[in-house]
Amino acid sequence: MCLAVPGKILEVEERDGSRIARVQFGGITRPAYLEFVPNAAVGDYVMVDVGFALSRVNAEEAARTYELLEEMGLLESEGLGPASRTDPGGGAA
């Protein structure tokens, strides 16, 4: 119930004064109300819980966190053989 899940906004429509998004979570899409994230737009990732988006995922912070983790992993693997690069998943999403 407290597990909000990140999904990508595919489209936004106005209905009865509310902004409702169609949000993609992996292979499925679900509607989510955007009342609490008025600036969220198509292409943004939002954290959705019980049908409402609670935050817009901060792509820069996400990329920075992951790069720090990656860096740590790469440093660690020095001398243990080449580490496989993984896509940090940052960028302009």
Q: Which residue has the tokens 């679900």?
A: 30
Residue number with CB closer to another protein (6 or 22) = 6
State the minimum distance, in angstroms, from the CB of residue 62 to another protein: 4
Query: How many other C-beta atoms lie within 10 A of the C-beta of residue 52?
Result: 15
Residue 67 interacting with another protein (CB under 8 A): no
Of the candidates 75, 79, 30, 34, the residue with the CA atom closest to the CA atom of residue 53: 34
Residue pair 70/39 in contact by the 8 Å Cβ criterion: no
Binding mask 5-44 for another protein (x = CB under 8 A): xx-x----------------xx------x-xxxx------
Site for another protein in 74-93 (CB under 8 A): 76-77, 83-84, 86-89, 93
